[in-house]
Structure 1
Amino acid sequence: MSVVGIDFGNLNTVIAVARNRGVDVITNEVSNRATPSLVGFGPKSRYIGEAAKTQEISNLKNTVGSLKRLAGRQYGDPELEIEKQFIACELTDVQSQAGVRVSYLGHKEDFAFTQIIAMYLTKIKQIASAELKIPVSDVVISVPAWFTDPQRRALMDAAEFAGLKLLRLMNDTTATALGYGITKTDLPLAEEKPRRVAFVDIGHSNYTCSIVAFKKGELQVLSTAYDRHFGGRNFDKILVDHFATEFKERYKIDIHSNPKAYLRVATGVEKMKKVLSANAMAPLNIESVMNDVDVQTMLKREDFEELCKPLLDRATVPLEQALADAKLSIEDIDIVEVVGGCSRIPALKEKISTFFNKLLSFTLNQDEAVARGCTWACAILSPAFRVKDFSVHDIVPYPIEFTWEKSQEIPDEDTNLTVFPKGNAVPSTKILTFYRKENFDLEARYAEPESLPGKISPWIGKFSIKNVHPDPKDDFMICKLKARVNLHGVLNVESGYYVEEIEVEEEIKDEENNDAMDVDQQAAEARPRTRKVRKQVKKGDLPVVAVTSSLDQVTKDIYTEKENQMAMEDKLVADTEDRKNALEEYIYDLRNKTDDIWAPFATEPEKQRIKEMCDAAEEWLYGDGEDSTKAAYIQKYEELRSVAGIIAQRYFDHEEEKRQKNRANEEAEASKRAAEMRKNQESNPTPGVEDVDNMVD
């Protein structure tokens, strides 16, 4: 059974697995430890991960990025306009959800982002399966801490379409904290003061700070704050816009008018930014940006920091908010652990260090810490591995309230209640009590819509409670509902039941024994005393019908079948390409062998026939057979193989005969040497111990 952790990033995705009594980050098909988070569409198949990155510029309009940031978004959300700055594909409405319109298999087709994410997760699953050489099922996937219920459900649906068993959706910084704490042997004991660590994660598009308290075998997230539009891509955009102005003046080209030119410059400035993290100056050289114009320029680190000053000035805002939410001061923080690729920028590190007045800690791998933490979480949850107990207590990012319709028979009844306040522990279960004589509905929503990302609806779900009726006395039925925010951070009303109040007698126990009491009084008091109390006893279940942002089962089945069909088409295209390459390779190999090692074993007519067949096969391969079927390539391969097989067999027979002769000669030579050795031993016996002693004397 597999145990896999997936750091689903906006730019790249990192996959880690549990094996060899530890956690390893695995490589993809081109031996990279991070796989681009891209899905592309072509005339024959999809391009996912590295393949999508390779053809991104040439297939820009059909290559989709920002997968994570557009998950669970409704079409019309203003944040879609922000993402249009970073992706070139056409965004569209797919059943009120954000989707893309791309050219696939020669025609336009619309896909919801949940489907796009499922396609990408299918590729991640294939990479992990190829590395582990077993089917992959159990996974833990990371998400930003600010993800809402609809966004989390979208990822859960996507994992289901991809055939993955999602054990947990885990917040990025919580996964990092788990990876930090589970390997520590010096954490404080339960009765001691906890170790408070600030985890600062600055990635490609997101900046998060979590304050976490550690004790032995346990971590508690105290607070989490974030800036959803602060990351590496924002620094890149500042540089791209700067150079766009410069190139317009110097080279008279406008890269904003050409998406491919814009992407070339964005790729260049990303490399420049990395160079500036370790050097005082960095060049930017790009050939044929647009209109056959080559560009060259330089940038100093201080100029870069001046350009990015408005962004850098926001660097302390999440830190301040995290401390305020945790009700802690800077002095209460013991360690500041920094991860994320963007955290390598010197000016950013200096801002964070100055704020906390501490040296920053970089004990975790900045690019792989989240994936490793997810893998530890998966190992804890999976029965396949034994891991030491480590409790993880996360928090609710936004307050959740329930609303309901007022009962006419309870005129002063409140109709809303904040059940899970901000900072409430996750996972967490609450029991709600209602007095009703008929079926009723509950609605769950976020209590502070203004705090949600973009224009995501505050509505979470509607829960209808069935089979409610008056009790035998025509009084209210006492209804109990179990509301739970689960490991994924998703809210559900998991079950309902009704209770009846009954009167029972229970014994009264004295808390103290009064030594001043006389013996008779003590004897009287020694007799058990009882009192009547009313207790609630569960009498039966109440069905709960839930309507949430998760897709309905019919749509899930359709999307799952569609994903399986596209995966099979991709495999057929890949297999066809493999057979085509195998045929091409065999043609060249057959020619070389016929003129070289097979030449003595073939007659001139046979050689001529093979040459003519190879020429014909090559002409067909680069002509009519350029876009043929897998079966056609296999047929051509077998035709050549059948003709060459006779000559190949002669060669192999000759080689086998040579090997037999060589083996016989070697055996004869070995027998001869053994006979000579025995003869020498007989003529020169080896002295025994006594002989040696006599010789010494």
Structure 2
Amino acid sequence: MESWPYKIVEGSGEKPTVVVQLKGGKKEYMPEELSAMVLKKMKESAEAFIGREVTDAVITVPAYFNNNQRKATKETATLTGVNVMQLINEPTAAAIAYGLDHMADGTWHNDKNVLVFDLGGGTFDVSLLKINKTGVVDVKAVGGDTHLGGEDFDMTLVNYCAQEFKKKHGEDIKGNPRAMGRLKVACEKAKRDLSCCIFASIEMDCLYEGIDFSIKISRAKFEELNSSYFEKCIKLVEKCLFDGEIKKADVDEVVVVGGSTRIPKVQRLLVEFFDGKTLCKNMIGEEAVAFGAAVLAAKLSGNNNLTWDTVLQDVTPISLGISAMTNGVEDCMSMVIPRNTSIPTSKKNIYYSRINQTYVAILVYQGESNKVEDNVLLGRFDLHGLGSDGTSQLELCFSINANGILQVSAQETSTGQRKPITIAKALNF
């Protein structure tokens, strides 16, 4: 948030609100409202291109988006008046594009284990999939980081330049949003240049207090500054293979998508990790995800002219569970649906009440830790009317639909008392 030219404050319902300057005053927006503005513009552009109204859409999201982020994305579409036919993970969409591309050349004869490495501007996703020539896309495991991407690489360069400016001129520009904003634009351009050049120059007139700034950045320096980020990407790839129970030697194709995969160091690390395997770069990195989503949208719209009958079997990226609260004290996380479970899915668990316990507070969490404080709280509901003798049996049901949206219900089996909850506007995201 420190690098943004606008402020984030706590709005109604403890949700973050963006404060911007607009027409001489201040205006507050929820993230969903800002996203809706972007989606509305995209909708208008599409309608102008095809010459008719757009009412439905397939929307892609980072594979590692949690439940709240997926629900917020659907709310964005609702604000825009767009019906979401399906939410699909970005690497899965890229895999569809890959499959269709290879079906067209007639060289595909066997099932393939495909790893999709998707490194974009703000998020990193890695997915391990099995694809067969009939169009079945079976996701085995997903991983990633929703706060890792090109923006991070830009900021390491921005901070380095700010430090160099302070060394040369004794002035700290980090407290000046305008200077930092200009520097960020210049650093992003330098990052792009370094993907095809060994050196890049940053030259700025009157960056701060009338002082000019110029510096020459080498590709080696850029790689050094971001080495921890690049190494983290490879560790997440390794973890995804472990979760999918597939050895790296059994991966047939490594498909790279996303603008940040143009960084030479990222490609070198991937090639080294897969023991010299050639990366699949046939598709335009920034278009592969949209292309795959369009193919799925065509199928869902009833288009029978497709040469590849896409069938998706996706997974939930993060484990889901509960913590029951007794006498104001929370239990440890009890896992209900482990990560990388195929969706849609429905799982039921049985729990028992304790002596003198007449109600239970059920807190729904998302995360991998046994400690609830390390996980994300999605929502809470109370189930009353339990017998005080400690014999009440509770049936808890978790259901995840094809969009990755969770619904939870609890029932006291002897009385039939049932309490459902849709994890929708669940606290923060």
Q: In 1, distance between residues paired with 2:95 and 2:410?
A: 32
Give the corresponding residue for 2:329: none
DSSP 3-state at the match of 1:256: coil
Identity between Structure 1 and Structure 2 (%): 26
Give the corresponding residue for 2:15: 97
Q: Is this contact kept in 2: 1:427–1:486, CA < 8 A?
A: yes
Q: In 2, distance between residues paired with 1:465 and 1:138?
A: 41
1:418 shift after superposition? 3.8
Give the corresponding residue for 2:403: 488
Give the corresponding residue for 1:42: none
Pick closer, same or farther for the CA change 1:548–1:447 going to 2, 3 Å. closer
Question: Which amino acid is 2:321 matched to?
Answer: E
Give the corresponding residue for 1:235: 153
Q: Is this contact kept in 2: 1:179–1:370, CA < 8 A?
A: yes
Q: In 2, distance between residues paired with 1:210 and 1:361?
A: 15
1:494 shift after superposition? 8.5
Pick closer, same or farther for the CA change 1:366–1:449 going to 2, 3 Å. same
Residue of 245, 263, 266 corresponding to 2:181: 263
Residue of 549, 574, 583 corresponding to 2:424: 549
Q: In 2, distance between residues paired with 1:371 and 1:94?
A: 33
Question: Which amino acid is 1:295 matched to?
Answer: F
Residue of 331, 345, 353 corresponding to 1:428: 345
Give the corresponding residue for 2:247: 329
DSSP 3-state at the match of 1:316: helix
Q: In 1, distance between residues paired with 2:293 and 2:384?
A: 36
Question: Which amino acid is 1:364 matched to?
Answer: M
Give the corresponding residue for 1:52: none
Structure 2 unmatched runs, 5+: 327-331
Residue of 277, 295, 298 corresponding to 1:379: 298
Matches within 5 A, 1:385-404: 387=306, 388-401=308-321
Q: Structure 1, residues 368-404: CA drift from partner, whole Å, max 9, x if none?
A: 1111111122222224665442211111122223567
Q: Is this contact kept in 1: 2:128–2:240, CA < 8 A?
A: yes
Q: In 1, distance between residues paired with 2:114 and 2:62?
A: 19
Matches within 5 A, 1:246-395: 246-357=164-275, 358-383=277-302, 387=306, 388-395=308-315
Q: In 1, distance between residues paired with 2:241 and 2:216?
A: 39
Residue of 67, 73, 92 corresponding to 1:149: 67
Structure 1 length as normaliser, TM-score?
0.52
Q: In 2, distance between residues paired with 1:478 and 1:241?
A: 57
Q: In 1, distance between residues paired with 2:11 and 2:270?
A: 42
Pick closer, same or farther for the CA change 1:323–1:289 going to 2, 3 Å. same
Residue of 192, 198, 213 corresponding to 2:130: 213
Q: In 2, distance between residues paired with 1:362 and 1:97?
A: 40
Q: In 2, distance between residues paired with 1:292 and 1:313?
A: 39
1:360 shift after superposition? 1.1
Question: Which amino acid is 1:491 matched to?
Answer: L
Question: Which amino acid is 1:484 matched to?
Answer: S
DSSP 3-state at the match of 1:131: helix
Structure 1 unmatched runs, 5+: 1-83, 407-414, 469-475, 499-540, 553-697
DSSP 3-state at the match of 1:263: helix
Q: In 2, distance between residues paired with 1:547 and 1:485?
A: 10
Q: Is this contact kept in 2: 1:315–1:351, CA < 8 A?
A: no
Q: In 1, distance between residues paired with 2:399 and 2:161?
A: 51
Pick closer, same or farther for the CA change 1:359–1:183 going to 2, 3 Å. closer
Pick closer, same or farther for the CA change 1:479–1:384 going to 2, 3 Å. farther
Q: Is this contact kept in 2: 1:187–1:195, CA < 8 A?
A: no
Matches within 5 A, 1:518-533: none
Q: In 1, distance between residues paired with 2:325 and 2:166?
A: 62
Q: Structure 1, residues 536-591: CA drift from partner, whole Å, max 9, x if none?
A: xxxxx998643533389xxxxxxxxxxxxxxxxxxxxxxxxxxxxxxxxxxxxxxx
Q: In 2, distance between residues paired with 1:116 and 1:458?
A: 24
Q: Structure 1, residues 272-303: CA drift from partner, whole Å, max 9, x if none?
A: 11111111222112222222333222122223
Pick closer, same or farther for the CA change 1:435–1:170 going to 2, 3 Å. same
DSSP 3-state at the match of 1:459: strand
Q: Is this contact kept in 2: 1:145–1:173, CA < 8 A?
A: yes
Q: Is this contact kept in 2: 1:464–1:545, CA < 8 A?
A: no
Residue of 99, 112, 119 corresponding to 1:195: 112
1:343 shift after superposition? 0.9
DSSP 3-state at the match of 1:549: coil
Q: In 2, distance between residues paired with 1:447 and 1:495?
A: 17
Pick closer, same or farther for the CA change 1:431–1:312 going to 2, 3 Å. closer
Q: In 1, distance between residues paired with 2:179 and 2:370?
A: 37
Q: In 2, distance between residues paired with 1:314 and 1:416?
A: 27
Pick closer, same or farther for the CA change 1:236–1:223 going to 2, 3 Å. same
Pick closer, same or farther for the CA change 1:455–1:89 going to 2, 3 Å. farther
- The structure where helix makes up a greater share of residues is 1
Q: Is this contact kept in 2: 1:196–1:213, CA < 8 A?
A: yes
Pick closer, same or farther for the CA change 1:167–1:198 going to 2, 3 Å. same
Pick closer, same or farther for the CA change 1:251–1:433 going to 2, 3 Å. closer
Check if 1:122 corresponds to 2:37.
no
Q: Is this contact kept in 2: 1:461–1:547, CA < 8 A?
A: no
DSSP 3-state at the match of 1:314: helix
Matches within 5 A, 1:501-540: none
Q: In 2, distance between residues paired with 1:417 and 1:307?
A: 40
Q: Is this contact kept in 2: 1:90–1:102, CA < 8 A?
A: yes
Question: Which amino acid is 1:342 matched to?
Answer: S
Q: Structure 1, residues 300-352: CA drift from partner, whole Å, max 9, x if none?
A: 22232233333333332111111111112111111111111111111111011
Question: Which amino acid is 2:188 matched to?
Answer: E
Q: Is this contact kept in 2: 1:398–1:446, CA < 8 A?
A: no
Q: In 1, distance between residues paired with 2:351 and 2:280?
A: 51
Choose 1 or 2 for highest CA Rg. 1
Q: In 1, distance between residues paired with 2:392 and 2:288?
A: 51
Q: Is this contact kept in 1: 2:379–2:426, CA < 8 A?
A: no
Question: Which amino acid is 1:458 matched to?
Answer: L
